[in-house]
Amino acid sequence: MPSAHYTRLMPLIELSTYQRWIETVADRIDPLVSATKPYLDGLDNLPDDGRFLLVGNHTQAGTEALLIPYVVRRQIGIRVRPLADRRFGNVKGVPAALFAAAGAVIGTPETARELMTAGEPILVFPGGGREIGKARDQLYTLMWQGRNGFARLAVEHDYPIVPAALVGGDDAYHVLTTSDGRWARWSKPLAARLTGTTDMGMPLMRGIGPTMIPRPQRTYLRFGAPIDTTRPKGAVAEKWTATVREKVKVALEGELAALLEIREGDPYRQLAPWARCAAVSP
């Protein structure tokens, strides 16, 4: 049974119609994905039954929000359910329709519990939007700010957690400012007014030349080994939740570091056509 958060986003047009559109597009973009030759590793770490929680990192390009569900569906044939920021609950019209048809739901504990009870694959980015607007000294760092709700729910339902690390998206733009510089201090009030939160930055950046056209970058995605969240007998719930959270964080940071090292030695990291044949493979 869909949650209230889910049904509230349903459009007048049948939701199944939008779902078919999205699935048709997904089936036909294989050539486009192949053309960019993403580095994909750890696919065998995805449980075939679809009962797992993917925990990923956000990047400036936002590639992860599209590529991870695409790859998982291609691998195990099951649609991933992304948990979105609560502010998406105010979205209306066609964007809301596409949001719901893609399987996304508002990331509340109630919604997550429903999905876990149903045994569906779920995707969450604990860092939220703050990981998108990162400063130059924050690239590829996790900005969870003490969030552990995902770990608590996973422990509650004995839900395996699969780290999903993605590299490449933070290189799409050249970030000019740091988190402790003057611009960060001056722009904080404006960022709070535009985003409604006080923890999202507005770094100055550029893409190709002086434009905001993103620089071509190869994407590197790796799924880590599933992390068992089953609470040991006698373990205190909150302490075990903190332990699981730390395990996931360490695992995800480790995968990011490994991918960054791979990227550094990859001649195809900027999608130069002449280097395609020399692209690093898993």
Contact of 200 with 133, CB cutoff 8 Å: yes
In the numeric block, which tokens belong to residue 279?
């692209």
> How does residue 8 score in pLDDT terms, banded at 50, 70 and 90?
very low
Given a cut of 90, whether residue 140 has pLDDT beyond it is yes
Tens-place pLDDT, residues 143-184: 998 889 999 999 999 999 999 999 999 999 999 999 888 888
Q: What is the mean pLDDT of residues 120-130?
A: 92
Number of other CB atoms surrounding residue 91 within 10 Å: 16
Given a cut of 70, whether residue 18 has pLDDT beyond it is no
Our CA angle for 46, 37, 22, nearest 5°, is 65
| Boundaries of every domain in the chain | 37-80+121-171+216-278
Pick from 215, 59, 68: nearest CA to 130: 59
More confident residue, 85 or 126: 126
Tell me, what's the pLDDT at 16?
56
b/e burial code for range 105-133 (CB count within 10 A of at least 16 → b): bbbbeebbebbbeeebbbbbbbbbbbbbb
Tens-place pLDDT, residues 41-91: 999 999 999 999 999 999 999 899 889 999 999 999 999 999 976 554 454
**Percent of the chain whose predicted confidence (pLDDT) is above 70:** 81
